[in-house]
Structure 1
């Protein structure tokens, strides 16, 4: 059976778009298993800022087998080792396998996936290295596979049938990724981006969930409110205080009440819970900045733990910039202190650079101000990006402290707002006024908001995202 034969099938779902959200399951672990097949089925931890045999760094992703032993994204490797010792160092059970992040290899695998996605859709929005939206409206249909007249409500015998042609097409995409690349993916199919995102998270790993236009409200309604993209633990707790526990409760809420509590983001959350999302899938442009964040399970004052986390995040961000052939002129950190006060600091350089060691040095220097401060969450960001080829500025004798500048963003706003770095105060710089970190929204964001769960910026599969398809 070919899918082209069904492209023109009519459907009572009318002109509703058909959006696929493709989310690679435990992508870094899946990549490691490609080159080490013996790791399949074994507890596997991939660490950022981690070197083989060392206890430093943080968990970038953990396989489902490792999660069964309490391993979570953003957890310090040292803590993970307490629950899951290295298999190479013990014969005891349980034991796990640890591998350092290999971004170059992951980008190669992602490139193979990317080719399939672009072959299967006319419009692809690449959100990160392991996540993308596809508009396949012109490639398939909401009609039914066994329904000759294209009636999406019933088959020829009058019985209900929900096996849409779109489902078959999505399965085709999944099977191509599995067969040609060798990594699993979960796919959500829905008439809009927000619902497709929820659908792809609904049946992990290696899942396929289809939500027809007429089924959106019924699908979303009974889900916990945390399933709505943009609702993290903080917002979930505040919504619960308002008696809102399910997506249905949120959909039925008065938007003005939510706006009073959360600002305009409240109205957006209500719309998503109702399945209202008219955003078009648009190709991703070049980002204005690159950032990564990581939250502690509990606020910590431990200086070494904070420095270790910032070093890992700095290495991550610098690697992402290099993978995109991007140079940066501003380096910044974000520090979230209890209860949820957001503080930003930044340093501007005399010219654009590509220097991972410098990103780490500046970030750690900026962190010194918070050495004795309890911290809930940390982030590192590079901005004022340059993608043009040319000579890289040389900063011999650079003194990070002399460039450190910036104001505190004493901001108690919810940190899972629709920005990687929510609601910052303007940041002043001594070197280049054009390099101010006033735009804390990554252009590569899908507009879905970040999650304030205790982990780095991740997808809902619990995996830290180290880059994008670009």
Structure 2
């Protein structure tokens, strides 16, 4: 082992881990639907309507946080700090409050996660707005900053929401790095600079240290991550048990956890925005064919069968429509993806579109699943006594009416 290298870090020096954290995610999603909210203090939560007395803040935009509004804060306190109306809006802050639209946020999250799964060999989805990526075999430390920037740019360009990205040799350090420069930040910490990066940071920044633990550390004279790294391990474990040992290792830049996927993806999708909204039907249909081909190829590569094919159409400024068709059973049939997507798009002919997407969902990966379309149509015809090869599916239409923002 080379001199100066910590035990157990041989793998970490090779590993390149990204932590992707969507900034004020719910508020960013609301801005997708209402671009006029850009730059304004947005609060997403419940209980702010007249007559409601109980509620909490789910997410506050960074502009709202400047006025003291925070996640999990009682909505009554948020309204005191940032009222919905003001006598003089030119000089007094006005908050823009929105109810939680979880279905829409999950849809946006799925678009982000689809990009992450495409860019990494292993993705660990932590929450609706957070994930770890192992890109060790996709890039090198010499160009890791460019790779991290590419991740951010694809999310911003294809989905339209900001993300902060941390790049480091392990999961703990990557999490700290993504929190280091928010919002819309990129922090890269190569192995040789890990301790230099960690040591001066406040102990509260160490992943796994909450307010109660931080208070105890301060009482012990441990104020920075470097203080913890230099502290006596036995003293730390006496106070915190085995969890203290883990925190002590993280403070020294050691975290041997691997990025392991939690289950398989529920859907696969590809989306593309036009530089300017277009009503050119041929251009739109050509784009759908491209997206359908990319999605079908990706499903085949992953060994995924799909029972549902759908499209997403966004009209300016951000009016979202989705259309889906459910099939009789799971298939792997690329031509069907394009054909179905084009059929679902028929009703939008002549309309101006800003963004298009194609998705396959209701995925299955079992080896004995039927992967051939003809087999499904033959079986359906046999069971029904119908010799037709028409796919029996019912389109599920979902239109989302988005109200205009109110102060």
Whichever structure has more strand as a proportion of its residues is 2
2:217 corresponding residue in structure 1: 239
Q: CA deviation at 1:56?
A: 3.1
2:61 corresponding residue in structure 1: 63
2:45 counterpart (44, 47, 50)? 47
Structure 2, unaligned runs of 5 or more? 1-9, 265-407
Contact 1:52 1:98 in 2 (8 A): no
Contact 2:165 2:178 in 1 (8 A): yes
2:299 corresponding residue in structure 1: none
In 2, the alpha carbon distance for the partners of 1:16 and 1:285 equals: 25
Q: CA deviation at 1:236?
A: 1.0
Note if 1:215 corresponds to 2:193. Answer: yes
In 2, the alpha carbon distance for the partners of 1:48 and 1:273 equals: 38
Contact 2:22 2:162 in 1 (8 A): yes
Contact 1:33 1:39 in 2 (8 A): yes
Q: How does 1:413-424 map to 2 (within 5 A)?
A: none
Contact 1:124 1:133 in 2 (8 A): yes
Q: Secondary structure at the match of 2:70?
A: coil
2:27 corresponding residue in structure 1: 29
Structure 1, unaligned runs of 5 or more? 1-11, 144-164, 287-470
2:16 corresponding residue in structure 1: 18
Q: Secondary structure at the match of 2:59?
A: strand
Q: CA deviation at 1:49?
A: 5.8
1:108 corresponding residue in structure 2: 107
Contact 1:52 1:100 in 2 (8 A): no
Which deviates further from its counterpart, 31-40 or 43-52?
43-52
Q: CA deviation at 1:45?
A: 0.4
In 1, the alpha carbon distance for the partners of 2:188 and 2:51 equals: 43
1:251 counterpart (229, 238, 245)? 229
In 2, the alpha carbon distance for the partners of 1:184 and 1:89 equals: 33
2:244 corresponding residue in structure 1: 266
Q: Secondary structure at the match of 2:258?
A: coil
2:255 corresponding residue in structure 1: 277
In 2, the alpha carbon distance for the partners of 1:74 and 1:111 equals: 24
In 2, the alpha carbon distance for the partners of 1:210 and 1:270 equals: 22
Q: How does 1:149-160 map to 2 (within 5 A)?
A: none
Task: Say which one has the larger Rg.
Answer: 2
Q: Could you state the TM-score of these two structures normalised by the residue count of structure 2?
A: 0.60
Q: Secondary structure at the match of 1:85?
A: coil
1:82 corresponding residue in structure 2: 80
Aligned pair count?
A: 254
In 2, the alpha carbon distance for the partners of 1:255 and 1:97 equals: 49
1:139 corresponding residue in structure 2: 138
Q: CA deviation at 1:50?
A: 5.7
1:187 counterpart (165, 179, 185)? 165
Q: CA deviation at 1:51?
A: 5.3
